[in-house]
Amino acid sequence: MHYITRERVHVDRIATAWAIRRFIDPDATFEFVPRTRDVSRMEGIPFDVRGAELGHHDGHCTFEALLQQHELHDDGLQRMGRIIRSADLPYDEPSAPEALGVLAILTGIRDGYQTDEERLQRGFVVCDALYTYCQRTDDAGTELDEDDDVLRIRHES
């Protein structure tokens, strides 16, 4: 499948592209267009662009819309969706405590690389790590696997 999104990918678009490749179509291709481009006549599935079905709706980000559209109900993905929404929409409440770190890292990727393909390549590594974290922790950031020797993370309120 071929997908179309805005250039200079950032939080939500990186995470959505990651989920598409990881869970929907490992051979998916992406085309990056200027914000002002009308994608309605372009060949492909638009996401996170003006007027796209796959975008922000009802307080949810594009990543969460993708999970819903493809019935991806994995607890780790749902938790990751809340973090991505909080990073993408940092002024909405409530905000996941991990969001500022995710936002900082993905902003560095957006600003530190020249092409959107490079940004996706680096961002996918971050998304893989975040997904692993989300599979292994609950919403309070507490490690779920009691038998593992991994540092147990607890967010203090």
- 26: exposed, middle or buried (Cβ count in 10 Å: 0-12, 13-18, 19+): exposed
Closest CA relative to residue 139, chosen from 101, 92, 82, 61: 82
For the question of whether the overall pTM of this predicted structure is more than 0.75, the answer is yes
Q: Answer whether residue 154 shows pLDDT above 50.
A: no
* Measured distance between the N- and C-terminal CA atoms of the chain, rounded to whole angstroms: 44
Q: Answer whether residue 63 shows pLDDT above 50.
A: yes
At 77-135, the pLDDT tens digits run: 999 999 999 999 877 777 888 999 999 999 999 999 999 999 999 999 999 999 999 99
Residue 137: phi and psi, rounded to 5, are -130, 160
At 17-42, the pLDDT tens digits run: 999 999 999 999 999 999 988 888 89
Count the Cβ atoms, other than its own, within 10 Å of residue 131. Answer: 20
- For residue 3, give the amino acid letter: Y
Tokens encoding 145: 């696997």
